Chains A and B, each alone.
Chain A
Amino acid sequence: MPMHDNVSQLKRTPLYEQHRELGARLVEFGGWEMPVQYSSILEEHEAVRMRAGLFDVSHMGEFKVEGRDAQAFLQYLVPNDVSRLAIRQAFYTQLCLPNGNVIDDLLIYRLAEQHYMLVVNAGNITKDFAWVKGQTSHFQDVVVSDQSETTTLVALQGPLAEEILQPLTDFNLKSMRYYHCMAGLVNGVNCIISRTGYTGEDGFEIYCAPVDVVKLWQDILAVGRPQGLLPAGLGARDTLRLEAGYCLYGHELDEQTNPLEARLDWTVKFHSGLFIGRDALLKVKEAGPKRLLVGIELLERGVPRSGYALYEQDQPIGSLTSGAPGPTIHKNIGMGYVEASRATVGRQVQVDIRGKRIVAQIVALPFYKRR
């Protein structure tokens, strides 16, 4: 049976009291005390797929990168092509070690000509900041600052997200494209509104100052509740991102894994010039990755989980990095790594669930794609 989580010494977001009042169950995540669910993970998951959900993701880290050399610096720092980022545009990328493995995955926003924002995982803020700062020595005019303590973030996700947010802002949300952002007011609160998310649905991520986030949260909930908006916790966030096939750092990505194995080739731009890890990644690309990320669905009863071993005819071929029931697709699913030669859709494999071999099949990612 579950134990109480040790929640002393943990950081809390300014929305902590809101979560308590909403009856959230709080758990440790990346050094933070965060809501895992308010009512039920299944209900919150469904709300996001059918209507909308509101997440507190203020634990995420934000770094500001500024200066005349900001673009050249970031181009060197990450494998994606920073020169292609227009102002008010964002992309997904990674911080890589010289050996090509992943320190963290992140979003980079270009907020102005020489001003970028990096959004990193909560549990990696200290490590990432030291790394990013450490790389600036090769560049003259670039200043990096950690703004995690002065930035809060909520995510409004789901097919009704635009309809719920629109009455609260003068900005025409319809004109905002995916992975674009703008600075504007949300019911009087200064925000950066970004059309991004981690659920596989349309939606927005909204950055603001900690002093304003309670009002922002309450305003969005007040408008959205009548339309079926629910506050949603990290539990639903995890099942939603799994169905959408998104990597989670510490599971699909870590410092033993490179982005090509994780099938993030679309974010690695070898043409963009020298970047940290380029040589190593080019070798992986030329030789082909040794293992590859796959999706699996169980063909028998059971729930796959992170860490479970994968077999093909009694031969170990890899292991799972995530697993859960997929509430929308009504299948028990997982992601994991297998030897590259076996990473073919339709292949039958077995998952070792507590000593029993349960039949599963490799399927195409993502498991779920919105219409």
Chain B
Amino acid sequence: MASLNHPSNLKYSKTDEWIRLEGDQAVIGITDYAQDQLGDIVYVELPGQSGQQVAHEEKFGDIESVKATSELISPIAGEIVKANEELKAHPEYVNDDPYGEGWLLVVKLANPSQLDSLMSAEQYLDYLQGR
């Protein structure tokens, strides 16, 4: 776990998503730990259109690695601004750069107080140790 990166400016969910605030919008992705556990990612299924809603702690997509399928869970409720279209051609971005080119969704926050229930990087690391 030592080699994994969990930046301190992000918030983390128990289902291994990260969230980065940019004004009233949030960028969502999966953590370095999650991509490492999944292994080679070969396909990411994201909601198609902006304007669609994502619900707090509910599924918004699926991610397929060579060996398994996992659900993508939104840490917050909101309206989708955009999804990362690049991942259709380059799902490996999620492995190579989970906090950069491997982002998944940009969402307009419906309820900013939902951010309070998420973990800091330090809390997330503790949570991973205890798993």
Contacts and interface: CB of A to CB of B under 8 A. Distances in A.
B39 interface: yes
Given A1-B16, A301-B43, A303-B43, A41 B37 contact: no
A1 B42 contact: no
B17 to A, nearest CB: 8
Nearest to A301: B43
Contacts, number: 52
A302 B64 CA distance: 8
B73 to A, nearest CB: 8
A220 interface: no
B115 interface: no
Contacts of A354: 62
Contacts of A4: 131
Interface residues on B, range: 20 to 34
Contact of B43 (A3, A239, A302): A302
B38 A2 contact: yes
A1 B39 contact: no
Given A41-B40, A303-B43, A325-B42, A1 B66 contact: no
Nearest to A45: B66
- Interface of B, secondary structure class, is mixed
Contacts of A123: none
A326 to B, nearest CB: 10
A41 B65 CA distance: 10
B69 A1 contact: no
B12 to A, nearest CB: 11
Interface string A32-59: 0000110011100000000000000000
A235 B68 CA distance: 10
Given A1-B15, A40-B40, A239 B69 contact: no
Given A235-B66, A327-B66, 17 more contacts: A1-B38, A2-B34, A2-B37, A2-B38, A2-B70, A4-B131, A36-B39, A41-B40, A41-B67, A42-B40, A239-B66, A301-B43, A301-B88, A302-B64, A305-B69, A324-B66, A325-B64
Interface of A: 1-4, 25, 36-37, 40-42, 235, 238-239, 301-303, 305, 324-325, 327, 354
